[in-house]
Amino acid sequence: MPERIEPCLALLKAKPPKGDQWAYEIKWDGYRLAVHIEPTGVRIITRGGHDWTHRFPAIADAARSLGVSTAILDGEAVVLDEQGRSDFSGLQQSLGGRGGKTTSHEAIFMAFDLLYFDGHSFLETELTTRRHLLESLIDTTGVIRLSEEVDADGDALLRSACEHGLEGIIAKDRNSPYRSGRGGEWVKIKCILSESFAIVGYEQSMSARAGIGALLLAARHAGKLVYVGSVGTGFKEAATQQLREKLDRLETDKPAVDYAGRRKTIVWARPRLTAEIEFRAWTADGKLRHASYKGLRDKADQADIFEID
């Protein structure tokens, strides 16, 4: 049984792919996890390879209750809001924020793949068979739930997901084996754009919470960080104070990006923090339009800083 399997990642596309080979699911907004059920116990591993079993005790207990000797489940830990939608901020709060040490008793695990079962690897088996076995193991209720396939036209499903305030949908090639990395076997289509960006500084404000008027953000391009604009909305008071404390420890005189704007009110920071940002579009000069702050990504989640083509 493998110690760890690098996850298969979805490739971002503007429209759902067409064809009978594509299966559709709702896109969950949480932390990607692999649940390892082993003869010696249960391990919950983050996308970055960190053991977070102690942080999701309810998911670990539910895994022990599945009644299987060996298995590796691929899925997403989420906290649901009152409408049943995944709430990334709610999940972060349940874990005590980025770098927090608290355990989440509210999180559930939406399982969408089975990579190993009963002493056998299924990495080379097509998705249809993996899903069939997964459906025989778990149901759609409880702490570990099945992320159901939706039998619908991709365009219609995306419209419905957006109308209900969901993040988007995932399309998966039914005939594909499980491949680590972003190879195109899985595709994500989002209602509202949401990506991870490096925080390179902030604009000071005497009236804003914790003195942060807006965060300055950067993406990667050709091996270096480039400035992509700022975000000044979406902050919550308690989390913003924690963010300010982290930024104070990263303060520097040397900007990590080229910046042509006003500098008097800017405090630069070493680019060690990654923020998840919602935005509507890109401007013609490569800046984020209508950006909103969702929260910090934890190091254990190993979120990629957005790469500009």
Q: At 213, list the tokens.
A: 């008027």
User: Residue 33 CB: number of other CB atoms within 10 A?
Assistant: 26
Contacts of 220 (CB under 8 A, 6+ apart): 226, 305, 306, 307, 308
Q: DSSP string of 18-44?
A: -STTEEEEEPP-SEEEEEEEETTEEEE
Q: Among residues 15, 27, 101, 224, which one is catalytic?
A: 27
Q: How far apart are CA 195 and CA 103, in angstroms?
A: 26
Q: How far apart are CA 90 and CA 97, in angstroms?
A: 10
- Angle, CA of 86, 91 and 96, to the nearest 5°: 170
Question: SS3 for 173?
Answer: strand
Q: How far apart are CA 200 and CA 156, in angstroms?
A: 39
Active site includes 294?
no
The amino acid present at 226, given as its one-letter code, is V
Q: At 97, list the tokens.
A: 């924020």
Q: Which of 256, 206, 212, 262 is nearest to 235 (CA)?
A: 212
Q: Which of the residues are catalytic?
A: 27
